[in-house]
Amino acid sequence: MSAIPQSAAPGSRDPAGPTGRGTTPNSASRPRRPRMTRRARRDAASAVFGVLILAVLLFPLYWMVNTALQPGTGMADLSWFPRTFDPGNFQRAWESQAGNLLTSILVALGAVAVCLTVATPAAYALARFRLRGADTVVFATLITQMIPGIVVANALYNAYVELELVNSYLGLILADASLGIPFTIILLRAFMVSIPEEVLEAGRIDGGGQLRVLVSIVLPMSRNALITGGLFTFLFAWSDFLFALTLNTTDAVKPVTLGIYEYIGAHVGDWGAVMAVAVLSSIPAAILLIVAQKYVAAGISGGSIK
C-alpha cells in the first residue's frame, strides 16, 4: 500500500486534518530533517505491522474477489492476481441471483421501516417519560437479544403456518425486523436520554403534544442515532439466513443468503460464480463501511454496552 512511505514522514502524525495549521501546504513548507524522530520511526513500524495484520485477516476477502474475477471454474490453476478481468463469473452469478438480490433489498428495506416505526416512539417514551414499569421494559428488551434465533424460528414457523405467513414477504420482513428492534430501542434510548430537558420543555410550551415534540424536535436531533439503527437493521436483515431458511418452503421469497447456500449445493464445481455471488452479497457491508464508518463503530459499541 502506498501508505507506508507517507506515514514515515515526520509531519503526518495527525491524520485528522483540522488540527494545527490547516492552511499551510502539506509537505512543501516543512523543514527538512536529517533523521526521523523516534516517534515517527515508531509510527512507521506500527503502520507496517498494521498493514501486515490487515493482509492476513483480509486475505479471505481478497481471495473471494480474486476467484470471482478469474475465468474458468476456479480450480487449482487459479493465480494469485487476476491478470485480466473476466465478467463471465459475474454474468452467471447475476443470471441466477439478480432476483434474490432484489428480494434481499426489499426485505431489508421493509425491516428497516418496520423497525424504526416501532422502535422510535418506544425509545423516546422509555428515555423521557416517567413511567412505572419502564425499567422492566428496558430489562426485557435487553433479554430478548439473548434468545436464540432458531428457537424463535421453531415456534414462529408453526404460528406462520396457521396465519398463512409462510412464503410471504410480510412474514419475512416482520421476522427480520425483530433482529433490529431491541438493538435500535436500546441505541435510540441511550441517545434520547441525553437530550436537554429545556429543549423538550420549549416544544411543550409551544403547545405541542408529546407526538409533536417527538416528530418535530426529537427526531431531527436524533438523526445520527436513527441512521445507525436503520443501517444496522438493514445489515441484520440482509445477513439473515435463519429466518429465510426456515420460514420459506418454496422459492417464492428467496433472499441472496439462501440463494448462495443453495448455489453451493447445486454448483459445487462453479466456484468462480459462487464467489461472484459472495462478492455481490458483500456489497452492502462494504458500502456501509465506506459511507457510514463512524455510524458503524458507534453502533457496535453503543448497541451492545449501553
Partner 1 sequence: MTMPAAKGPLRSRTLMKWLFITPALLYMLLFFGYPLIRNVVMSFQDYSFATYFTGESPFNGLENWRLVFANELFTASLWHTLLFTLGSLAGQFSIGMALAVFFSRRFPLSGLMRSLLLLPWLIPMVVAGTVWRRILDQESGVLNESLQALHLTSSAVPWLSSPDYALLSVVLVNIWIGIPFNMVILYGGLQEIPSELGEAAVLDGAGPFRTFFSVTLPMLRPVVTVVLVLGFMSTVKILDLVLALTNGGPAHSTETLGTLTYQLSFLQLDFGQGAVVGNVLIVISMVFAAIYLRANRGGVAR
| Residue 147 binds partner 1 (CB under 8 A) | yes
The rounded distance, in Å, linking the Cα atoms of 197 and 141 is 25
Which residue in the set 71, 88, 149, 208 belongs to the binding site for partner 1 (CB under 8 A)? 149
Rounded to an integer, what distance in angstroms lies between the CA atom of residue 134 and that of residue 283?
39
Name the 3-class secondary structure at 183. helix
Q: Judged by CB under 8 A, does residue 210 bind partner 1?
A: yes
Measured from the CB of residue 24, what is the shortest distance to partner 1 in angstroms?
18
Q: How far is the CB of 286 from partner 1 (least distance, A)?
A: 7
Q: Are 153 and 166 in contact (CB under 8 A)?
A: no
Q: Is 93 near partner 1 (CB under 8 A)? A: no
In the bound state with partner 1, the residue whose beta carbon lies nearer, of 88 and 152, is: 152
C-alpha cell of 267?
454448483
- Only segment of 17-25, 82-90, 222-230, 235-243 that touches partner 1 (CB under 8 A): 235-243
Closest separation in Å from C-beta 206 to partner 1: 18
| Angle at alpha carbon of residue 49, lines to 48 and 53, rounded to 5° | 120
x/- letters, 251..280, toward partner 1 (CB under 8 A): ------x--xx--x------x--xx--x--
Using CB under 8 A as the binding rule, the residues of this chain from 117 to 146 that contact partner 1 are 117-119, 121-122, 124-126, 129, 131-132, 134-135, 137-146
Count each helix (H run) and each strand (E run) in the chain, helices first.
15, 0
| Per-residue buried b or exposed e for 41-79, using 16+ beta carbons within 10 Å of the residue's own CB | eebbeebeeeeeeeeeeeeeeeebebbbbbeebbeeeee
Residue 148 contacts partner 1 per CB under 8 A: yes
Q: Give the count of residues interacting with partner 1 (CB under 8 A).
A: 103
Q: Is the CB of 28 or the CB of 53 nearer to partner 1?
A: 53
- 102 part of the interface to partner 1, by CB under 8 A: no
Residue showing cell 435510540: 188
Does residue 257 contact residue 281 with C-beta atoms inside 8 Å? yes
CB of 117 to partner 1, least distance (A): 7
Residue 265 and residue 134: Cα distance in Å, rounded? Answer: 48
Residue type, 9: A
- Is there binding between residue 103 and partner 1 (CB under 8 A)? no
> Contact at 8 Å (CB) between 196 and 217?
no
Q: Which amino acid is located at 174 in the chain?
A: L
Least separation in angstroms between CB 272 and partner 1: 10
Axis-axis angle for helices 88-128, 256-266 (nearest 10) = 140
Binding of partner 1 by 217 (CB under 8 A): no
300 binds partner 1 (CB under 8 A): yes
Each residue 33-62 as x (binds partner 1 by CB under 8 A) or -, in order, gives: ---------xxx-xx-xxx-xx--xx-xx-
